[in-house]
Amino acid sequence: MRGQVQDKFSEFYEQWVNQHEVNLKELLSVPRDPSSSSNEQLHRALVSKVVIHYKQYYTVKWASAKDDVLGFFSPTWFSSLENAYHWITGWKPSMLFRLITSLRQTRVPGANLVDMTEEQLEKIQELLIQIRIEEDRVDREMERQQVSIADKPMVDLSRLATQVNNGEVVGELDKYVDVTLSSLLAGLENVMKMADCVRLMALKGVLEVLNPLQSVDFLAAIAMLQIQLRVVGKRRDHAKMMTLNQKD
């Protein structure tokens, strides 16, 4: 059952995606002459606008997670396909580096990532190593949170839960439940924020290596991938729902 927090965030996310599509159109339509200083200023301004848009998403996400962090581990605003490719409530940071490799290999005309210098490639490789280390750290923390379900407080809670009298809880069980679950949820919220910080670190790191026009092409590729994955995922979910309704 969806709660108020999920409904509110789902509404925000739809609006966020709509703006994401507007940003994509702007990224794809920029003048491409890198030698023009006015063009470079335009590229920098658009990259900044897109980055601010991403940061807005995480600002709202973190504020909402304070009231319902579990909603972000089983989100209703993503399609099933999007959820299948997510890593701890969002896209996996190292995906950005695979995307760079793919863009360079496709050699699409106008895609300036084809022309990355050796120095840029070396910096990207160094950043990838750093991001993978951070991903591993988040994975270990997530594993620690998952196994903590068997820690002593939860075992004690399980024992206390058997102490009922005529269907009513005995003693301070309700208060103990709240304290124990609050600790677990705080741990999950921390892991989610850790993962989001690595996502932002990867995005910021890549953009610092690329020049303004390369950054425009890179952000456009990310947006296209995210939007198309959502379109295909929602289409599949809708088709599945229609099939189930027909069977009923």
Domain assignment of residue 23, given as a range: 4-247
Q: What is the pLDDT of residue 172?
A: 56
Give, rounded to a whole angstrom, the gap between the first and last alpha carbons of the chain: 21
Residues of the chain with pLDDT under 70: 1-2, 107-112, 150-179, 244-248
Q: Is 131 within 8 Å of 94 (Cβ atoms)?
A: yes
Residue carrying the six token digits 């991403």 = 54
From the number of C-beta atoms within 10 Å of its C-beta (0-12, 13-18, 19+), residue 127 rates as buried
**Entry pTM:** 0.87
Q: In total, how many domains does the chain have?
A: 1
- Name the residue among 203, 10, 207 with its Cα closest to residue 91: 203
Q: φ and ψ at 210, to 5 degrees?
A: -80, 155
Contacts of 234 (CB under 8 A, 6+ apart): 79
Rounded to whole angstroms, the Cα distance separating 4 from 7 reads 5
**Which tokens hold the place of 205?**
């790191």
The pLDDT tens digits of the residues spanning 179-234 come to 677 888 999 999 999 999 999 999 999 999 999 999 999 999 999 999 999 999 99
